[in-house]
Structure 1
């Protein structure tokens, strides 16, 4: 949803409109704009995905300055913002440290902490805000973590998650799983902040790593689905656990690893087979792209799961002759799964 487009304002009113947009969704700030011959320009869009508010912003150069005086005027339910820098070079000052943010960084700011943030020339960011009470992380933990996020092994996991979240927020906000997605995002943010704020041998950091292990494992598997050597031993090694621990962690989430991996691969194959763009791709090539080393094994698994062969599925889906019902889901609510048969 479009929240603000300064192109619809007279040039003399744009600074006030920009300032109002920021202070309407946050605590008061001082805003300093970079003087440009083209004048101030900005566009704000917003979405609601479960408990998360998503804001996308593109604008000319500016800096937001939040002081201790501003913080005293915070709203009743302050938030924590988690953002990606999608264009331009961003500058920040937080917890007494100055740093530069790029496209591979996550920026975290607590509304109850002074800070500076902005960019020069044209820039853009994608941010989510989480209610402080929902996040359940103290201000000092957020501030301490904000300047050392990359010290946590969870940084890249959350970065990939946020990028996926922003691929199509409009569809996500209307999805029946929006509430669960919002809660899972909050859990990942909480885990990252706790992990980054404390030393590895700290009890809280260990608990955060343990709590996020299932998400990290399933995210890793999805990234490597096309690898034919994606074995339980490899997955366990990558996450510094034994094979027995791997099965135990996933079992507590209701996931049977081998069956879940096959079901994820079959789901990827379904999308390829149903795509007119890939109509000329041989079934054997589809199998290989989805991590199956044997076309006959792929066909057998596919028929067991969907009741038709891959070729029949392609014909039915592309030509719209009939709809093939997907089998009943199994597994945890957070990790959708289809029975792949044996």
Structure 2
């Protein structure tokens, strides 16, 4: 379930305080300064979860977000935000670097540090917020990347990806595969930052895996697509099927088995959710690409240690213990 604040639903006298409180909830502590506080303040804030990452969208009349050094010290917030400007020019200053961000452009903000971000008039921006620990790169590499994003060949890909996440966030966040999409987005962000920072030797390792990262992210977005086949995947990345298999072999990575595993994990999540209890096991199996319910049950039990029906019952009765076979399968998940 997303978090949404729309000042259109509030009396004018309550809007400024409500926006400040909501901004603290959605992102990090900062001073929220409205361009025309005595005028018509219009703001809509949205936060949508994608596993360990989230999508944050702000649409507002003229606005300035000023995070001071004191606020950064009191609340370190080790989070990276990769943001696409949607409307009006954004103006961003952080760590001695100033930039103007036109609509359609991507920027990075280190939310653990002071910054000054603003736009004038009606503006909007949307970002994916990712904890540093999920990025898996040193802080100096992440900060060096901030000023060189456009130097990376992945800049356009990440820009389009974030714009798509922002545009479709409400539906993507409630999809059973939302957490998988979040993981794919984090992988792509990691590759972009390592590339933009020219971090040797780490960048070379990451860039060697870039195409495979893109392939995994693509597959996660299309796990419920019955036409997700090697030929389709290869065509989407402008490579041959032979080259696709070569990339996977170099990484000792079985594409077909990985897709099956991801689909089984997606099905497990769907079976766990109360709002999907009306769906039969066969319906869930079919949605995740298994035309034969018996084959689905056999593969599900092999991976998770319980049958789909047993897992659904366990989920309905009580939270699954961490040491149960099904819960334990989480610890063995790999990319």
**TM-score for both structures, normalised by structure 1:** 0.63
- The residue number in structure 2 matching 1:99 is 99
Q: Report the alpha carbon displacement of residue 96 of structure 1 after superposing the two structures with TM.
A: 0.7
- The residue number in structure 1 matching 2:239 is 235
Pairing 1:146–2:150 present: no
2: CA distance, partners of 1:60 / 1:167: 19
Q: Report the alpha carbon displacement of residue 48 of structure 1 after superposing the two structures with TM.
A: 1.3
SS in 2 for 1:156: helix
- The residue number in structure 1 matching 2:88 is 88
Any unmatched runs of 5+ in structure 2? 222-233, 260-285, 293-335
Structure with greater helix percent: 2
1:221-271 Cα shifts (integer Å, max 9, x gaps): 99xxxxxxx989x738xxxxxx98654213444349xxx9xxxxxxxxxxx
2: CA distance, partners of 1:325 / 1:23: 38
2: CA distance, partners of 1:104 / 1:212: 23
- The residue number in structure 1 matching 2:131 is 131
Any unmatched runs of 5+ in structure 1? 223-229, 237-242, 261-322, 330-342
Matches within 5 A, 1:182-331: 182-198=182-198, 202-216=200-214, 235=239, 247-251=245-249, 252-255=252-255
Report the count of equivalent residues: 251
Q: Report the alpha carbon displacement of residue 324 of structure 1 after superposing the two structures with TM.
A: 12
- The residue number in structure 2 matching 1:9 is 10
Judge which range, 78-87 or 36-45, deviates more. Answer: 36-45
Q: CA RMSD in A?
A: 3.6
Asked if structure 2 preserves the Cα contact closer than 8 Å seen for 1:58 and 1:124, the reply is yes
1:8-34 Cα shifts (integer Å, max 9, x gaps): 333233222222222233432122221
Please tell me whether Structure 1 or Structure 2 has the larger radius of gyration of its CA atoms: 1
1: CA distance, partners of 2:15 / 2:171: 31
Q: Using a 3 Å threshold, how does the CA distance of structure 1 residues 172 and 113 change in structure 2: closer, same or farther?
A: same
